[in-house]
Amino acid sequence: MFDIFNQDAFSVVTMTDALQEVNYVPSYISRLGIFETESVDTLHVAIEKQTDESLIIVPSSPRGTHGATMGSDRRTLRNLSVPHYQINDAVMADRVQGVRAFGQERAVQSLTRFIAARARKARQSFELTEERQKLALITQGKLLDADGSVIYDYYTEMGESQVTEIDFDLDNASPAKAALRTLAESIIQTVVESLGGLPFERILVLCGNAFWQDLVRHKEMYDIFLGWQRAADLQRSTIGNGRSGIWGTLEFGGLEFVNYRGGQSVGIDTNKCYIIPIGVPDLFKTVYAPADYIETVNTMGLPLYAMQYIMQNRKGVALEFQSNALHYVTRPRVLISGRRT
C-alpha cells in the first residue's frame, strides 16, 4: 500500500523549505531592517553589557605622587531564554481519499498544494506575531506574549530607566513661535545623549492616527509650508500614499514622522508617538533557536519550521509549524514616547 506521508516531499527539511518560500506578508517594522538577526544552536542567549565609567577632569598633582584613579568598567551578564511558538494543524485521511486512485504523483501534488495553503496561513500568523512583538518592544521596551503578559521587561533586564514622556502640546491654539521646531531639536539632543556617542542614521517618529492628524494640522506646520512648494507634500501626507504599512510620512525639524498603519490586533496608541533612532549598531536584535526535533537539535536556528507525523489513531496526519524567536533591545533608554496633549 502506498504510504504517501513517508515521501521526501513531506520530510521536515522539505516542508521547512516550503514554509520559507511562502510569499512574505508586508509589515512595516520588519521592513525597516532595524532588527539584526542571528541564528544560534542553543535555547538561551547570554547578553553581556559593559557600562563605561564617566570620564573625569584630571586634577593637577605634585610630581612623583599618585595621580587620580580611573574607575574600572562594570560588566553584567544576563541570560535570556528563547521563547517557543507553535501552531498545530492536521490533514485528515478523507483529504487523500479522492486522489489515491490517480497515482502517487497526483496524490503528492494535491497534498503539497493543500499543505502549502495551510503553511501560508501559519506563516502569516507568525509574521503578525513578530510585528506585534517588535512594535511592543519599540513602544514599551517589553517582549509581550499573545495575551499581553510580559515575557521580558528590558528596562529591568538591562538595568535602565524609561525617559519621561514628552508632551507635544498639539492642541494649543496659540503655540509659541517655533515651538515644534524647538521641541524637535530638544528630542534630537536627548537621543544623541542617550546613545552616548554611538552613530545613527536618522530619527523615526511612529505616530498614532490622532497624533498624526493634529501634527499635520498644527499652526506651525501650515505657517512653514503654506505658500511654499512643499505645501502640496503636507496635504498629501494626510492621506494613504500606497506605501504598505503606513498612511503617510513627513519630515520636519530633523525628524521623520510616520503615521503607522495598524490592523488585526497590531497597532499603537492613537494619541501617542514613539521615537527611535535608526541605524544604531546592535540596538535591536532577533535571535532564532533550533526546533525541538531530532533532525534539528543542536543545529543553527531558522525563523520557521514545519513537520508532519501520523496521528496515533491513524485517521490523519498532524501538521506542526513552529518558531523559536527572541526579540530584544540592548539600550531601552533610547526609546522615547510622546503624546499629542
Average pLDDT, the chain: 81
Other residues' Cβ atoms within 10 Å of the Cβ of residue 121: 12
**What is each CA distance from 281 to 19, 106, 138, 160, 167, in whole angstroms?**
30, 50, 16, 18, 29
Question: Would you state the cell numbers that stand for residue 112, as one nine-digit string?
Answer: 503539497
Question: Which domains are delineated in the chain?
Answer: 4-50+80-151+284-328 (3.15.30.10), 164-282+332-339 (3.30.1930)
- d(Cα 18, Cα 116) in Å, to the nearest integer? 7
- d(Cα 11, Cα 18) in Å, to the nearest integer? 11
Cell 503655540 belongs to 175
Q: Mean pLDDT highest for which of 7-21, 45-59, 82-96, 190-204?
A: 190-204
Encode pLDDT of 247-281 as tens digits.
888 888 999 999 998 888 889 999 999 999 999 99
Of the pLDDT bands very low, low, confident and very high (cuts 50, 70, 90), residue 26 is very low
Structural contact between residues 141 and 328, judged by C-beta atoms closer than 8 angstroms: no
Confidence check: pLDDT of 20 > 50: yes
Q: Determine the distance from the C-alpha atom of residue 180 to the mean position of all C-alpha atoms in its chain, rounded to a whole number.
A: 28
Encode pLDDT of 220-252 as tens digits.
887 776 655 555 555 445 455 445 688 888 888
Structural contact between residues 278 and 204, judged by C-beta atoms closer than 8 angstroms: yes
Question: Would you state the cell numbers that stand for residue 224, as one nine-digit string?
Answer: 512653514
- d(Cα 239, Cα 233) in Å, to the nearest integer? 11
**What is each CA distance from 240 to 225, 237, 245, 266, in whole angstroms?**
20, 7, 10, 18
Structural contact between residues 246 and 261, judged by C-beta atoms closer than 8 angstroms: yes
In this predicted model, which residue has the larger pLDDT, 186 or 14?
A: 186
DSSP 244: T
Kindly report the pTM of this predicted structure: 0.82
3-state secondary structure of 77: strand
